[in-house]
């Protein structure tokens, strides 16, 4: 499976966001990763539906929307209507997870579930058949630029083994501290979608940084 790269706009230049989106349009990036934070589930606030709607008009690439919010089931339809192509909710934030995943599926979006660093991936095994993707958080969610948590490798291996043993078509996405020093090992462990913020947008050549991740 080819490696997909989903640069996180959380690290983009918000004073000139259009220029960064145009750069991503030219690049080999596959998706645009949008981190939605509500100040409750995580200690930070980012942006919501109006910004997503504007971003959607500026790119033809799929919007990979990561809902770091409490009770995400309240807003699934609204985020889909705003332009989300992939919707990721947190296991820790969705009380009735299976119902929320089905809600995402019913909108026509790809359905994904994220797990925080302290959460065991085994908790997702009962609903893996329902998912298009699992997001392994390799930092604590809420802020960009954090150090990669080494324990994440074992979680990715465990999840990958379970997916393969059941012949499921479920992608494994990794978000947090991803760069060219760990991307190859992440892929070796079973990851096939890499989210990167600072590594891409703080690079002297963001397009080359994206290529380096795709070639991991």
Per-residue pLDDT reduced to its tens digit, 172-205: 999 999 999 999 999 999 999 999 999 999 999 9
Active site residue 38: no
Residue 212 has pLDDT above 90, yes or no: yes
E strands within the chain?
4-7, 32-37, 63-68, 86-90, 110-115, 133-137, 171-175, 193-196
Report the pLDDT value the prediction gives residue 1, as an integer from 0 to 100: 60
Report the pLDDT value the prediction gives residue 45, as an integer from 0 to 100: 87
Strand, helix or coil at 28? coil
Whichever domain contains 157, its CATH number is 3.20.20.70
Per-residue pLDDT reduced to its tens digit, 145-174: 678 999 999 999 999 999 999 999 999 999
What whole-number distance in Å separates Cα of residue 35 and Cα of residue 69?
A: 10
Quick one: which of 215, 188, 191, 174 has its CA closest to 8?
A: 174
Strands 4-7 and 32-37: unpaired
Report the pLDDT value the prediction gives residue 143, as an integer from 0 to 100: 65
Give the active site residue among 20, 35, 38, 132: 35
The boundaries of the domain holding residue 29 are 5-9+12-214
Strand, helix or coil at 9? helix
Active site residue 85: no
User: What is this structure's pTM?
Assistant: 0.95
Residue 119 has pLDDT above 90, yes or no: yes
Quick one: which of 170, 216, 178 has its CA closest to 7?
A: 178
Give the active site residue among 38, 64, 132, 175: 175
Number of structural domains (the chain) is 1
Q: Which residues contact 131 (CB under 8 A, 6 or more apart)?
A: 101, 111, 112, 113, 124, 170
Per-residue pLDDT reduced to its tens digit, 24-71: 999 999 999 999 999 888 888 899 999 999 999 999 999 999 999 999
What whole-number distance in Å separates Cα of residue 204 and Cα of residue 216?
A: 19
């Amino acid at each position: 499976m080819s490696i997909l790269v989903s640069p996180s706009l959380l690290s983009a230049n918000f004073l000139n966001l259009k220029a960064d989106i145009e750069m991503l349009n030219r690049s080999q990036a596959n998706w645009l990763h949008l981190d939605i934070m509500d100040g409750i589930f995580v200690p930070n606030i980012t942006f919501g539906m109006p910004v997503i709607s504007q971003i959607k008009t500026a790119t033809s690439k799929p919007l990979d929307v990561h809902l770091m919010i409490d009770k995400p089931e309240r807003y699934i339809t609204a985020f889909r209507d705003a332009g989300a192509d992939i919707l990721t909710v947190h296991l820790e934030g969705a009380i009735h997870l299976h119902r929320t995943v089905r809600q995402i599926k019913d909108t026509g979006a790809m359905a994904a579930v994220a797990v925080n660093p302290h959460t065991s991936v085994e908790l997702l095994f009962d609903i893996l058949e329902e998912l298009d993707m699992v997001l392994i958080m390799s930092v604590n969610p809420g802020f960009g630029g954090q150090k990669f948590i080494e324990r994440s490798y074992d979680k990715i291996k465990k999840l990958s083994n379970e997916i393969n043993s059941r012949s499921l078509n479920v992608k494994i996405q990794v978000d947090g501290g991803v760069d060219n020093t760990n991307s190859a090992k992440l892929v070796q462990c079973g990851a096939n979608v890499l989210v990167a913020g600072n590594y891409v947008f703080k690079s002297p050549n963001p397009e080359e940084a994206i290529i380096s991740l795709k070639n991991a």
